Chains A and B, each alone.
Chain A
Amino acid sequence: MEFILNNRLVKTDKPGGMTLLDFIRYDHQLTGTKIGCREGDCGACTVLIGDVKEGKLRYQSMTSCITPLANVKNKHVVTIEGLNMEQLTPVQQAFVDTGGTQCGFCTVGFIMSLSGYCLSAGSATLEEGISAIDGNICRCTGYKSIERATGIIVSKLSRKDDKHPIDWLIREGFIPGYFAGIPERLIALQVASQNPNGRADRLPKVGGGTDVYVQRPDDLVTSDIHPFFDLTDLKSIFLDKNICYVGAGATATDLLESDVFNSMFPNLRKHLKLISSTQIRNMGTIAGNLVNASPIGDLTAFFLALNATLTINKPTGEVRKLPLKEFYLAYRKVDLKENEAVEMLEFHLPDENTFFNFEKVSKRTYLDIASVNTAIRLAVINDNIEVIDVSAGGVFATPLYLEKTCAFLKGKQLSSESVSAAAEILDSEISPISDIRGSKEYKRLLLRQLFFAHFIELFPQKNLKWRRLYEKY
């Protein structure tokens, strides 16, 4: 396997399941990249992964602790050593000037994430800049100095030449000159590679690796893996007639950047920001989230409320289709046989009468696992609920499609009375347990609240006197 590590071509026969972090630190002695948690939750090991797609060079930040080596094949891996020049880069200088580094252990991760932001096509706003470092944890500074550093960078980026961003960044000292030659080198690598997406059916299947590398890294790091991460045909998002198709390998970032999704879900950004962090959104795949079968999977709740259908690939080459709500059999058990793989999911396009909302509450609003999440899709015509699908996570052994609640509300008038009555049915459909994410009493109350929140969010103008919902309680 080959890839470019900073300015150097690396050819390695290390197992594809080895973590990129160990490879960087212990095989290449690039110790600027730090080990904080080994579960993608602190960002200290953040690196940039560059790839040429459709002729365009693009960098994404990823946590190298849960990135299998196989997932960076033919790519450009940038560590802090690959950014260092004689002079500090403007990002580095800003951290020095604002006191954005104290103990320094998390600092490189922040520098990498912000440098990735400089390399991205994102707009130069403080909000976007902060968003780029939402997966980096600092225990010393309280973040204010880091915010100030980000502000300095954002103002510099406002002058960026969007037509020739790489040249501009090199000129302004953000990145070393060798970046200019990277696209050509990456294309050459891709062409030379005999087996770009080699299938090895007996090996463990790994997508983004964002959960499996947290749960059982030791089972993976010494062997090769069967990488699903980069299969181009699994990443596409497209519309056909009235149906939206999403490849199983698409990441949350792919959804965020998809014109199709943005046009369907006006609040997409707000919803997806609640899901993990920038780095993990760049890595974790949709199918990974679905197959993982966590009762609290965020994207699972999202697609359950869209009443999505899965396309499952059988080893014989046939495919079968299965509604997502029938996919979950029991706790962490899904209707997927050995050697079957989820290939695609599809759902009907929302129309002008359709509303969608996603709610999630966790101990920490961002970069946390939900205590309870829920999504809703409903079509309302003349205040009559024509279509309704509601999902909930964290309140049952599996991700839950709220059958009875939906059945009750279908055909009802949209009113505080009907919603209030539905909340009682909803309460009978769930059986939360007490755990680290909250007591069962809390989860019950929280789901009711989030269920109400759907309607308050979606129909603020309807003057439905939502207040009555609460007067009852």
Chain B
Amino acid sequence: MKNIDSKGHVRGESIYLDDIPVQIGTLHGEIFDAPCAHGKIKNVDYSQAEQFPGVVRIITFKDIPGENQIGGIIPDEPLFAEDEVHFWGMPVALIIATSEFIARQAKKLIKIDIEELDCIVDPKEAREKGSLIFPPRTFKIGDVDSVWEACEHVFEGEADSEGQEHLYIETQGAYAFQMENGNIRIASSTQGPTAVQRTAARVLGVGMHKIEVDVTRLGGGFGGKEDQATSWAVMAALGAHLLKRPVKIVLHRMDDMCMTGKRHPYRSDFKIGLSKDFKIKAYQVTFHQNAGAAADLSPAVMERTLFHATNSYHIPNVTATAYSCKTHLPPNTAFRGFGGPQGMFVIESAIAKAAHELGIDASRIQERNLLKDGDELPYGQVMEHALARKTWATAHKKFQLEAKRTDIADFNQKNKYIKKGLAIQPVCFGISFTNTSMNNARALVHIYSDGSVGVSTGAVEMGQGVNTKMLQVAANAFSIAPEKVKLETTNTTRVANTSPSAASATADLNGKALQIACDKLLTRLKETAANMVGAEVSSIELQDEQVYCNNKPAGIKWEKLIQTAFLERVCLTENGHYATPVIHFDKTKEKGHPFAYHVYGTAILVVTVDCIRGIYTFDSVEIVHDFGKSMNETIDLGQIEGGLVQGMGWMTMEELKYNSNGKLLSNALSTYKIPDIYSVPKEIKVEALETEGHEMAIRKSKAVGEPPLMYGLGAYFAIQNAVKAFNPNYQPKYHAPFTPEKVLLGLYEKVNVSVSGI
């Protein structure tokens, strides 16, 4: 079935935040933000701005009736700066005016006197100075120290990956207005309606019941609106609360890029030990996460880095330590993969380094160490239904890896100035929020008396197609036409206390809750039907919008059944609650079984590098992916292709640059480049691995949002292999992204000369 939103999308009729018809008297908010990364505010002069015609009010921390605090995991982030600013772009005040244009002009009239203080942008420097968000954590299995001696080969190195801007095409925004009795309704472009509700209540100093958050859909999220949509929604609510007028905030692209956090940059040190036959015996890694100026979701992101430190490989002795380093960048946040990709980049770098030193292809080490059933991961979960080897072997065979290698060797032999490189990228990604308590969801189902159905869940539609999947669950449960089912907006008054739409788990959690609600309704409807035909409940089935009794049509249509149930005062509304079973994790021991299941896959990437100009194009990416039993192949394929390209963008052209003062330099689409239609691989092939699916996935259709992003890691190593093919003097470095600059400098790197800029 096609995405149920697609018709509205292609006609431009889908409603996004900025398309909501505004009420008369709506005001617009513009954020006045910190003009340096770290400083003491001595004075802010708002007088001229306040006098600017059309300005209604300028709101600062002093106007907050509740708490000036938005930190979700750790309360360390004020909504508005008080005495100090901690990152460039940190909100200081909200200018509210009759138009966005006026508010923006008024912003230019605010004078801030600020004493600049030292600023840290590098996470290793932060660690040295003791600037941490919270204490470091270590995941450990076996004992690396006792194994190094016994290893035939031991290599050490550094691997760094830079941040990534989400670049949802719809910028952050919210629209808030007062209802009666001081209640506030907020329309928000958020992945986490409950986080918005909870935080708005805290800042306004009211109960959560006074705040209603409604989300129709997002024009892209990718994690960037999981926690960081909250500030703007709370500010709009604060304005509406103080002024008793509707307030809308939609961030200008450059403000969005400057004020919001991104994927965390990481700087890491690794040590890897191998046996003679390339079995990885020991792996030690220290991650330095650049958390930025406040915790935001960094503790959870860091945790997932540790969970995925060994990617698809079984390593018996591992010590993985992570530091969440407090710097003066905007608080970094969730981004598809959620720390997993950063962890995996390091193990892949360690393998690549080992392979380079040993003069072998990295795939020999990769393949030798793939996970199998019964292997224990550093966090204690023992692998079941492991498909790492199967996806690898299938990709190898299906995509004729050996022939490909021969062709590439041949090509590189014949061409002096064009070189091809190949990399294989296995992925193993755990599904569930790593914070066990978040793995729950609810769904509310109404069957209306005419037989049509309304479904509310906690899932937020942001392009991933979750509403379509929810609709499939409901239509399938009742065996009715999809047209009879409507997916409602995500609203905190209908489904409360939700977890954000994140962790790839939204369809699983909400779908299972919805299935439970539908099943309960179905039970009652079968009872009604049994009464109607005078048969046993067990003989009743609903199929194709009619009642079947003992596998024969009973002459009762769906509508008739519903009407009868309604007249007989059967409850046609049901709520379903799902909490993922089995999973648990003990943080004091750093051991447990945190994931419902894992998703596997293997990608083969081939790149062509123009060795005169240092630019590259990807010939192909061929993937064998473990979808389980996909419940919607079009949507799931879209997730693979889109996730892959996003991951490749992170590894290649997407370069976030801050200067040493903590100012973002790549602050617009003209300076921060994401893949365009010409920079994606010429060919992307996706083969579904044949499996039985997983019971803990909704309708055995495995989570698909985040895992494919990590196929993109292979882009880095494919380019590196092509550079090596051109320049035997090149000394591999592990510092993503591999921009054309790094490629060219690598291609012409001389022996033992370190080239600056790398």
Contact = CB atoms under 8 A, between A and B. Distances in A.
Given A105-B219, A106-B169, A142-B645, A88 B10 contact: yes
Given A38-B253, A137-B676, A442-B744, A96 B7 contact: yes
Contacts of A436: 657, 665-666, 671
B669 A39 contact: yes
A142 B641 contact: yes
Interface string A50-70: 000000000000000000000
Interface residues of B, number: 82
A143 B680 contact: yes
Given A36-B169, A441-B757, A107 B101 contact: no
B253 A36 contact: yes
B252 to A, nearest CB: 7
Interface in B137-191: 166-171
B670 A450 contact: no
B684 interface: yes
Contacts of A467: 416
A212 interface: no
Nearest to B666: A436
B277 interface: no
B674 interface: yes
Interface in B1-17: 2-3, 5-14, 16
A366 B104 contact: no
Contacts of A441: 745, 755-757
Contacts of A365: 615, 617, 678-679
Interface stretch (B75-83, B378-386, B461-469, B692-700): B461-469
Nearest to B416: A467
A37 interface: yes
Contact of B3 (A99, A130, A363): A99
A145 B220 contact: no
Nearest to A110: B10
Interface string A82-113: 00100010011101111101111111100100
Given A38-B253, A214-B670, A105 B169 contact: yes
Contacts of A143: 641, 645, 675-677, 680
Most chain B beta-carbon neighbours within 10 Å: one of A37, A133, A367: A37
B680 A142 contact: yes
Nearest to A443: B741
A298 interface: no
Interface string B583-623: 00000000000000000000000000000111101000000
Contacts of A108: 9-10, 12
A41 interface: yes
A454 B340 CA distance: 44
A441 to B, nearest CB: 6
B242 interface: no
A439 B7 contact: no
B2 A371 contact: no
Interface residues of A, number: 81
A137 B168 contact: no
Contacts of A35: 18, 171, 250
A95 B634 CA distance: 12
A39 B670 CA distance: 8
A152 to B, nearest CB: 13
B612 A453 contact: yes
B220 A105 contact: yes
Interface in A211-259: 214, 218, 221-222
B463 A104 contact: yes
Interface in B661-675: 665-666, 668-671, 673-675
Interface string A451-473: 01100100000000001000001
A31 B665 contact: no
B669 A146 contact: no
A93 B11 CA distance: 10
B170 A367 contact: no
Contacts of B668: 37, 39, 41
Contacts of A111: 10, 12
A446 B645 contact: no
A363 B655 contact: yes
Interface string A138-176: 111111111100000000000000000000000000000
Most chain B beta-carbon neighbours within 10 Å: one of A137, A371, A442, A456: A442
Interface in A390-440: 435-439
Contacts of B674: 137, 139
A108 B11 CA distance: 7
B670 A33 contact: no
Contacts of B8: 104
B713 to A, nearest CB: 16
A359 interface: yes
A34 interface: yes
B678 A366 contact: yes
Contacts of A29: 21
Contacts of B217: 103-104
Interface in B208-223: 217-222
Interface in A332-374: 359, 361-369, 371
Given A31-B18, A467-B416, A366 B252 contact: no
B262 to A, nearest CB: 14
A41 B677 CA distance: 13
B382 to A, nearest CB: 34
Nearest to A99: B634
Given A103-B168, A364-B679, A442-B744, A32 B641 contact: no
Nearest to A277: B676
B635 interface: yes
Most chain A beta-carbon neighbours within 10 Å: one of B11, B613, B638: B11
A96 B2 contact: yes
B253 A39 contact: yes
A201 interface: no
A340 B638 CA distance: 53
Contacts of B676: 134, 137, 143, 364, 366-367
B684 A88 contact: no
Nearest to A438: B741
A270 to B, nearest CB: 13
Closest 7 CB pairs between A and B? A32-B12, A103-B463, A105-B219, A104-B9, A142-B645, A102-B463, A41-B669
11 contacts: A104-B463, A107-B10, A130-B678, A138-B169, A139-B166, A143-B641, A144-B684, A145-B637, A365-B678, A442-B741, A446-B741
Interface of B: 2-3, 5-14, 16, 18-19, 21, 101, 104-105, 166-171, 217-222, 250, 252-253, 416-417, 462-465, 612-615, 617, 634-635, 637-638, 641-646, 653, 655, 657, 665-666, 668-671, 673-680, 684, 739-741, 744-745, 748, 755-757
